[in-house]
Amino acid sequence: MTMILISREWLLEHLEDPQVVIVDCRFSLADPQLGKQQYQTSHIKGAYYLDLNQDLSSPVGEHGGRHPLPNPEELARKLSAIGVVYQQTLVVAYDDSRFAFAARLWWLLRYLGHEQVAVLDGGYSEWQKAGYPVTDIIPELRTGDFIPQIQTQMLVDRQTVINQKDLPEVALIDSRESDRYLGIREPIDKIAGHIPGAMNYPWQEATDSTGYLLSPSEQRLRWSQVDNAKEIIVYCGSGVTACVNLLSLELADIHTGKLYAGSWSDWISYC
């Protein structure tokens, strides 16, 4: 299995490794400037910052959801500028939100064909608790060479969801909190509810309360009801936290997961 999860101890030993690029993905949906402000105040030594809205998404349109996928060529240029060499450099992504944003970068890199990407278990808060090196120094840009090779099979669109969601061999997974799935509460989108036929697997259940991912055996148990599906289509509100469930599936050694990137916010844009 490709390295998916990095311990803080491993990363500490590889802070100066030229084949490792660390990316801070901290972000707040409620305060879009907060993540960058936190990074500028304190981050893991040598880490660069990529912003969910500015770097890991495209501008919002009529359709496509609240966080459309970024332009591959633009993201490739940004990755090259921080020293990422396609299929050579190990990218380690971290956040402080139980992988809500780090998993987005993890998935995007794999979607662009770069398998050398992992997330930092425990995130930034656990790194700090260990007393490991942090700084406010912004690292200088580096020279990389990232040429994306898009893996189209990892992605589905709204029409594909419509065509396949009721097939017995397909599992449609809603990754949002249960009250949003049930339509009891909807703090972000204009319409509450879920896509008909979807099952609810809240993304937070892939981790424990301190931000560590559950073990592979626990992840397999979590997905035991759908592990025989030929295709598992995963969505959330805007294609961000769904990536935590896709990460969970990979840890469970289940490789049939696909992202409906537009997710609920795209689905309801046609209503």
Predicted confidence pLDDT, tens digits, the chain (271 residues):
468 999 999 999 999 999 999 999 999 999 999 999 999 999 999 999 999 999 999 999 999 999 999 999 999 999 999 999 999 999 999 999 999 999 999 999 999 999 999 999 999 999 999 999 999 999 999 999 999 999 999 999 999 999 999 999 999 999 999 999 999 999 999 999 999 999 999 999 999 988 999 999 999 999 999 989 999 999 999 999 999 999 999 999 999 999 999 999 999 999 9
Lookup: tokens for 73: 């060529």
- Which residues partner with 234 through β-bridges? 173, 259
CB–CB of 143/83 below 8 Å? yes
Residues 78, 48: Cα–Cα separation, whole Å: 11
Grouping H, G, I as helix, E, B as strand and the rest as coil, residue 265 is helix
Cβ-contact 40, 154 below 8 angstroms: no
- 188 near 237, Cβ under 8 Å? yes
Q: Are 82 and 144 in contact (CB under 8 A)?
A: yes
Residue 271: active-site member: no
DSSP 100: T
**pTM (2 decimals)?**
0.97
Q: Which of 25, 236, 243, 271 is catalytic?
A: 236
Give the dihedral sign, CA 231/233/234/240.
Answer: positive
User: Look-up: residue for tokens 């949002």?
Assistant: 176
* 199 SS3 class: strand
259 beta partners:
155, 234
Half-sphere exposure of 78 (CA within 13 A, CB side): 18
- Phi and psi dihedrals of 212, rounded to 5? -100, 135
In the chain the domains, ranked by start, together with CATH numbers, are 5-135 (3.40.250.10), 152-270 (3.40.250.10)
